[in-house]
Structure formats: structure tokens, C-alpha cells
Structure 1
Amino acid sequence: MKQLMKLSFIFAIGILSILTACQPAKESSSAKHYVWMGEGKNEDPAQLEKMFVKLKETGVDGVMYQCALEKYPAAIELAHKHGLELHAWQTILRRYSEQLLSEHPDWYTVSRDGKSTAEHPPFVDYYKWLCPTKPEVRAYLTKLVEDLAEVPNIDGVHLDYIRHSDVILARDLWDVYGLVMDKEYAEFDFCYCDDCIERYKKETGEDASAFGDAAPDNAKWRQFRYDMVTETVDELTKAVHAKGNKINAAVFPTPTISKTLVRQEWDKWSLDAYYPMNYNSFYQEGIDWVEQSCIEGVEALNGRAPLYSGLYMPAFPTPVEFQQAIQASKKGGASGVCIFTPYEMNDEHWQILKEEIENW
């Protein structure tokens, strides 16, 4: 009898093992979550460490961090101490530098009405833009990202403002600047510098300087501007990868919006990750729009790289809306969220972010 019971027990264990083996393994989440932040509010190392500790406790994986080149080693050491990635976040084509303005004013973009952003920046004084068509600009930017990629132990290079100036502002900003941007107006339409005009004419036989008010209707001329930004990104990507590092970027939401507003065709790029700024309030949209933005971006990338949904904290007057935006990002297929910025978060926001990360 004991022998029979023993055999029955062994048989039962064997069946249980078989059934367990047949169950699909629970997939471990490959999601990651980030924040955009700079040194401005954390110049004190103790304050920076306090923020890094808070981020790690909440479940955040890394920071897109903006500071001077020489300050990255200390920030990286502190981030890694607390198990966080740190990516060097830098503006690229929008370069407000007195040295550049003094030495290379010809590097800056020119509007359809003939004004350079070096002297006549649109919207705000710091809107001074380098032209992506110029070989000298590309060489300068390549050196910039190579220097960032060579910082010891850096986790990646994060591009920002890698586009043209806004030919059309997001709808919520029209009132801010007292503008109606219902079409592409000459003073906001870039770039018509000599290099752009000459290269386009060489490639197409057309003189873009003669387009006048018909310029917005010329699909080839519009595509040329997309391509110049894309070529620049490709060169920067190759430079960073050659240094054995990763490269990613903050981009406008959806390939459609980014092309229409800022000449940015990011679904044609070859980055390691994409961070669309799904700032729904800028477009006078509700939170459902965040999900749709993620869906379009994820479909456009077609599995080539992860997409992290950028969320703008001032767009969420209540913590519940913040939670809904995170959930909308997940439903839209994003691989995580990136928060701009953690400084606007209160205790409820932090708790919601922690719970949503745990349940992603």
C-alpha cells in the first residue's frame, strides 16, 4: 500500500511538472521609463543625489540630462551609483552661442523673406538655427556628439531641436505669440540660404529662391528640407555608433505632425530610440490623443527601435489625468514614458508613477 501511494505521488508530481512546463512563461517587461532634467535646479550635488534617489525608488530607469560637457563625468558617477542610466541631452540645430554667432553667422538658416536667424530669430531671441545642409555645420555637430559619446561611461547621446524652426506653431502657442499660423508664412519658412538653394538646384534644376508664395505647394522642395535634416541625423548616428555608444532623440509627436510643423521626418532616421513629445495641451487635445500619437509613431517605426512617450507635466492639472496619460501611452504601444520634468511632480504624481511603472 505504501509503495502504491509512493508511486501515485510520483505520478502526480510528474503530471504537475508537465502541466507547468506547458504554461506560457510570463514575459518580463522590457519597458523603461525616463525623465528629462537639467542641472539648473540641481547644481548642488546633494540635491542632485536626492533627486536621483527619488527617481530610482520610483522605478525610473534613467535621465536625459542637460549640462556642460565637463560636468557630465560627475553626474554620470552619481547616476550610476543609484542604478540610473544617464544620457547626454543637448540641443543640436538650435544653437545659441555667442562664439558661433560671431565667427560663423553664415551658418545660420535664412527665411523665405531673406532674414537670417542669426540676426532675426523668430518667436524668441534664442531661436537661432544652424542650417543642416551646410557641410561645415555637419562637421561641427559631428564633433559635438563625438565629444559627448566619448565621455567615460555615458549611456547615450540624446538629441534635441534636431529639426528646422517651426514653420507652423502648435495650436496652443498661436495666442502666446499673437499669431494666426494657418499656412506657411515667409518669415517662418526655412531654409533659403545659398547652400540650400544651390544644392536643391543642382539636384532638381529648380530655383527655390524663385518659388515665392508658391513654395509651400512644392512637394520636392519640402522633401528636400526633410532630407537635409535626415542626412545630418544619419551622420551623427554613424559618428556616435563608431564610438561604441547609443544615440536617441526628442522628436515632435507623430511623423505627420513633425513633418508639417518642423520639417522633421523622424520615422526615416536610424536612431536607437525615439522620444516623441506627446504634449497634448500644446495641440489643444485631450489625453486620448496621447494614445493615438503613440500608435502612429510605433507603427511608423515598425519594430526598428523603441518609442518612449514624452509627457508634459503642466498638461495634467490633476494626478488622475497624469495616470490616464501614462496608461494611454502604454495602450498606444509605447515602451515606456519620459517625464518633462520631475520638478513639477507632487507626492501624488510620484506615487502614481511608481504604481504605473510597477504595473506596466
Structure 2
Amino acid sequence: MIKPTKLLPFLALFIFALNISCETKKEATTTTNKENSKIEKESFKLWTWITAEKTRTDVSFDEEFKKYSDNGLNAILINTYGDPELLARLVPIAKKYSLEVHAWMFTMNRPGDKVAEQHPEWYAVSRDGKSCYDEPPYVGYYKWLCPTRKESREHILGLIEGLAKVEGVASFHLDYIRYSDIFLPIGLLPKYDLKQETELPEYDFCYCDVCTSEFEEEHHKNPNDFNNPAIDMEWKNFRLNKVKAIVDEAYKITHENGKLLTAAVFPYPEMADHMVRQRWDKWKVDAVLPMIYNVFYNEEIDWIGYATKQGVEDLKGKNTELHTGIYVPEMPPEQLKEAIYQARSNGANGVSFFDGPAITEEQWEIIRSSQKP
């Protein structure tokens, strides 16, 4: 799905958590350094996503982080474009205001990645033979790497390790940890003049030589020969498992460095499976922040409760927390109040707001009051 970020177009979607509860999740983190990896416990955690530019001064970050703390936030997910030095610079400023820091990074979608750009063969290929390197789907910054190819996987995991080594970081936060969108949210289709009722070839990835040959060796059939690839479950599971394998490796890396692993995901597992080949209830991950952005799906506020509950149910028996992601731009304060209630009453461990700079004073008032008993 196309997600909005501070520096990307409004329609760019999705980015999104974490609260280790006092009683039910004491065993959730089994790392080589439990004390360093534990996230501070809150009864109901409040997060936000932000993007950091290295050209900004420490004073400006100090002012921003103080504002978040004063308004009741507990944690910030910081996108530093994979830059560990900038992240290390921001950690002490955030800690000054008792804010947890989570290293947020675009994972499979790597716009502006100078290393990857030197290797066109690393990029995912659509069923109609178009590479994300040359012809990205939907928007120009959709630069998806292949999750199967050894070199692209190692590049991604190396970036994760670099951020996971930064002292004082609570977790590494996976974003765009999936394939490109098979289906956009229904609310976005008119903006792209699209009708998506079936899996269209130009939005169906990855059909690169490495993926198709590995699949054929394992299953004795080639996806390029399928009349209707959407109904071949082995081919679908092959790709789901390629994403899962990267998550599992990321979990190992982060825990070896005394950090947790969190991830921004689509609203609930069955929906994520259908739309972007992402089955996050099967992952090894400490917490998920499903981006339950009702406006993109033409849904009412109570849908936030429905999707939250579905995710909580799917995670039963797992040591994975769920923190609901809420999209705040243009959301009236009363709706924000209801959104927080819907998440909390349906089992979320917290909520995260996308994104920090977009929150209005009227919304801050709602957020502050949500922490009162």
C-alpha cells in the first residue's frame, strides 16, 4: 500500500508498536541481554512515528521531543534513512524526556538506497516482466528489493544490524516488510484511476529469475507458466515465507544486540495476506503496529476496533504485542478520542499516531486526557 511520510506525497501510505505489559508478557523477550532489551512498561503505551533530517539542529529535536513527552507520549519511532550516526545523536535527546527510541527503517522498499541502485538485478520483478528498478509500480519511490536474492537480503540485514547496534535503542522497527501492493485500499483506487478486482500482472511481484528458478526446483512448476497464479497456494506461500525469513533473521540480529524487533504491518493478518503478501501473525516479532488507517479503506471509526480485535485474536498464544496505528491528519478530536477507545477496548497494548508533526493542539488535548485513569 502507498503510505504517507513526512517527505513523500500525501497518498504515500503506510508506515506503523510496543508495550511489554507487567504481568502477561514477562517472558516475551528471550534475548542474550534481557535487561537491555526490555521496553519500559506502561499501562497503555502511546507512540508516534517521525522522520529525522540530519540537517536539523539538536535544539529543534529537543523542542520536538519535549513536546511529545509533555503531551503524554512514551515512545518515538525514528526514521533516519538507515543512518546509525544520526540515530545515535538523537537517542540522548529523547532519553532526556524519558522517551523510548525505536529505529524505524524502510525495509523491502528502498527508495534512494545508493548501494542498491548500483545493483539493478536486486530489484523485484512483476509478472509482466517489469523491474521496480526501471518501472516502479504506482509511484516513483516504490523501489522494492527481491527478498529471495542473497545479495539484496544481506544488504537489508546489514542495515538492520547497523541500527540495532546503536546504544539506547529499544527496538528495530521494520517498515515496508512485504511485497508491493497487489491491491490498494479501496479509498485510494479513484485517485489512481484504478480498478483492482483480480491480481493484475503489473502489481504482482516477484517473478525474477532467482525466485522463479528456486520455486521451480522446489515445486517442479514455473510461475511463469501459470494461467492464474493467484490460485496456486505453493507460489503464494513461497513468497509469504520469503518475507518471514527476513523477519526471522532480523529477530535474531536484534536480540543478539540486546534489542527487540517491532514492525509496522497492514491492519490484520488475513487482510495483509490478501493485499501485500504479509502474514504477520506467523512471524517471530516482539510487537506489531498495524496501520489501521480507516480513512484509506472508506471505513468508520469502529472499524479500528474490529481490525484491532482481529489482530489480537490472531496473536493469541504468541509473545507478540499489538499497538494500533492511527492516522491523525484531518481526524476530528472526537473521532480521535473514539479511535483510541476502540483500540484500547479491543485489546491493544497501546496506540501509535502517524505522524508526530501532524498532530494538532486539539488532538494533543485528547491524547493527554487518554492517559488519565
Decide: shared fold, TM above 0.5: yes
- Kept in 1, the 8 Å contact 2:329–2:359? The answer is no
Name the structure 2 match of 1:16.
none
The separation in 2 between residues aligned to 1:102 and 1:338, in whole angstroms, is 32
Of 353, 357, 360, the residue aligned with 2:367 is 353
The separation in 1 between residues aligned to 2:279 and 2:330, in whole angstroms, is 25
- Kept in 2, the 8 Å contact 1:279–1:315? The answer is no
The separation in 2 between residues aligned to 1:93 and 1:236, in whole angstroms, is 12
| Bigger mean CA offset, 279-288 vs 148-157 | 148-157
- TM-score normalised by L of structure 2: 0.86
Deviation (angstroms), 1:101? 4.7
The separation in 2 between residues aligned to 1:42 and 1:357, in whole angstroms, is 34
The structure-2 alpha-carbon separation of the partners of 1:141 and 1:98, relative to structure 1 and needing over 3 Å to count, comes to closer
Name the structure 2 match of 1:319.
333
Of 299, 313, 323, the residue aligned with 1:299 is 313
Name the structure 1 match of 2:229.
215
The separation in 2 between residues aligned to 1:101 and 1:83, in whole angstroms, is 36
- Kept in 2, the 8 Å contact 1:36–1:338? The answer is yes
- Kept in 2, the 8 Å contact 1:281–1:315? The answer is no
Matches for 1:14-29 after TM superposition, within 5 Å: none
The separation in 1 between residues aligned to 2:55 and 2:307, in whole angstroms, is 32
- Kept in 1, the 8 Å contact 2:124–2:205? The answer is yes
Identity of aligned residues (%): 37
Unpaired runs of 5+ in structure 1? 1-26
Of 290, 301, 306, the residue aligned with 1:276 is 290
Amino acid in the other structure paired with 2:345: K
The structure-2 alpha-carbon separation of the partners of 1:236 and 1:208, relative to structure 1 and needing over 3 Å to count, comes to same
Write out per-residue CA displacement over residues 170-207 of structure 1, whole angstroms, 9 at most, x where no aligned residue: 11110111111111100000010111111111221111
- Kept in 1, the 8 Å contact 2:54–2:86? The answer is no
Residue 332 (structure 2) pairs with residue 332 (structure 1): no
Name the structure 2 match of 1:248.
262
- Kept in 2, the 8 Å contact 1:59–1:358? The answer is no
Deviation (angstroms), 1:332? 1.4
The structure-2 alpha-carbon separation of the partners of 1:305 and 1:75, relative to structure 1 and needing over 3 Å to count, comes to same
Write out per-residue CA displacement over residues 6-59 of structure 1, whole angstroms, 9 at most, x where no aligned residue: xxxxxxxxxxxxxxxxxxxxx996321110011259923222212211211222
Matches for 1:33-72 after TM superposition, within 5 Å: 33-40=46-53, 43-67=56-80, 68-72=83-87
Please state whether the residue corresponding to 2:132 is helix, strand or coil.
coil
Name the structure 2 match of 1:286.
300
The separation in 1 between residues aligned to 2:79 and 2:113, in whole angstroms, is 19
Name the structure 2 match of 1:263.
277
- Give the number of equivalent residue pairs: 332
Write out per-residue CA displacement over residues 277-319 of structure 1, whole angstroms, 9 at most, x where no aligned residue: 0000111000110001110111111152110100001251x11
Name the structure 1 match of 2:150.
135
Please state whether the residue corresponding to 2:199 is helix, strand or coil.
coil
The separation in 1 between residues aligned to 2:70 and 2:117, in whole angstroms, is 46
Unpaired runs of 5+ in structure 2? 1-23, 25-40
The separation in 1 between residues aligned to 2:138 and 2:115, in whole angstroms, is 20
Higher relative contact order, chain-length normalized (CA < 8 Å, sep 6+):
2
- TM-score normalised by L of structure 1: 0.89
More helix by share: 1
| Bigger mean CA offset, 326-335 vs 101-110 | 101-110
The separation in 2 between residues aligned to 1:315 and 1:273, in whole angstroms, is 27
Amino acid in the other structure paired with 1:105: P
The structure-2 alpha-carbon separation of the partners of 1:313 and 1:40, relative to structure 1 and needing over 3 Å to count, comes to farther
